Amino acid sequence: MAEAAGSAGLMEAEKGVRTSSAKATLAGFGAILLWGTLSVLTALTGKLPAFETTAITFAIAGLAGSIVAIARGRAALLKPTLASFLLGLYGFFAYHALYFAALALAPPAEGQLVASLYALLIVLFSALLPGSRLERRHVIGALIGLVAAGLLVSDRLGGGASPGALLGYVLAFSCAVVWASYSVASRLVSEVATESLGITCLATAGLAALCHLVFETTVIPGSPVVWAALVGLGLGPVGAAFFLWDIGMKKGNVPLLGVLGYAAPIISTGLLVIVGFAEPSIKLAAAVAMMVVGAIVATR
């Protein structure tokens, strides 16, 4: 009887863990859906400097996240550890400074798709987590993703692209590396509350503002559309999405979220075409399809 009761208790505990993981994975997918709007909202901000855009949007995200935590009586959880704080600065500041700079130089649709290689890199990097290992299917998936990225920019290599556009592609790929490594490493600080990202966002905003003052010339947003895009970024893909993604990375299925990450470029590319920032093309569709296939192969 005691053994039966113990077995039943263990089964209930395992079921609870699976349910918690499923909810966390769903939260992570919510972040991916929000990221589908990132490149459109960024394009709507016009020619705002990268660090200025980063400072404004992260200030909005940090304030909103902190207010929500305080309103829920979880203010004590706002304090990050030193490790989680430095990791957050690396992920938030480096990624978004590179991302906004990449989209300012490269065509929005192509730049977004190159940056979205983070999804495939998450699958690869997740094999480095304790208890995981890199397998042949991971390598095959990575190669398919790289071929897709090469197809995307093939006609712009050599003499076909301006130096600025080529630099934009390099910056976009750097985004992918930074975000994938940050995301997977978040699993190593899973004991830190997600609310602590509010402080990290505010610190990122301060660092971006400092870099803006040193390296850029301030451009005052000149229309309600630009301000609306900035607020939308701060509350959505540069705000709530981070908190949802943190939950997914710390408690959810990391490789699966890597695969689901390819929903973001599909949504993003569709929105860019709809609003007129990108032209529909067979090559664009083929690159998206190959990236999805690469991620599926890596986690089949």
**What's the confidence (pLDDT) of residue 205?**
97
17 — pLDDT class (breaks 50, 70, 90): low
The pair phi, psi for residue 26, each rounded to 5°, is -65, -40
Select from 156, 176, 177 the least CA-distant residue to 166.
156
**What's the confidence (pLDDT) of residue 5?**
47
CB 41 within 8 A of CB 177: no
pLDDT tens, 101-138?
887 788 776 787 788 888 889 988 988 888 777 778 87
